[in-house]
Structure 1
Amino acid sequence: MQFDSLADFFNMGGYAFYVWLSYGVTFGSLGLLIMLSLRQKKSILAEIAKKIEREERLKETRSSR
């Protein structure tokens, strides 16, 4: 489909609301998914680091006895 002007492109032949809404929902969902995944990764890595630290302290206390 060829558009005569930039305004026609953004109007999308009368379907602009649905087209741009679908783009917005898609990119918004992807952005939210990426943000939540990165936050969960950070949380899991912090939890693993704490567990490793606890295990090392437990080893030290057992070996010092």
Structure 2
Amino acid sequence: MQFDSLSEFFNMGGYGFYVWLAYGVTFGSLALLVIQSMGQKRKVLTEIAKKIQREDRLKENRSNKQ
């Protein structure tokens, strides 16, 4: 489909609202998914680091007692 002007492109033959809304919802959902995934990854890595530190402290305490 060829458009004669930029306003016709955005209007999409009267369906522009639905087309651009669909694009907005899609990209908004993908952005939320990426942001949520990054947050969960950071949380998991922080928990792993805390567990490693705790294990190191426990090993150090065990070696000090012997």
In 2, Cα distance between equivalents of 1:57 and 1:7: 66
Any runs of at least 4 consecutive aligned residues in structure 1 with deviations exceeding 3 A, and if so which? none
Q: What are the ranges of 5 or more consecutive residues in structure 2 without an aligned counterpart? A: none
TM score, norm. by length of structure 1:
0.98
In 1, Cα distance between equivalents of 2:8 and 2:43: 46
* Aligned residue type for 1:36: Q
* Aligned residue type for 1:61: N
1:47 Cα deviation (Å)?
0.2
1:42 Cα deviation (Å)?
0.4
In 2, Cα distance between equivalents of 1:4 and 1:35: 38
RMSD of aligned Cα (Å): 0.3
Q: How many residues align?
A: 65
| Mapping 1:44-59, distance limit 5 Å | 44-59=44-59
TM score, norm. by length of structure 2:
0.97
**Residue identity (%):** 71
| Mapping 1:1-65, distance limit 5 Å | 1-65=1-65
In 1, Cα distance between equivalents of 2:56 and 2:4: 69
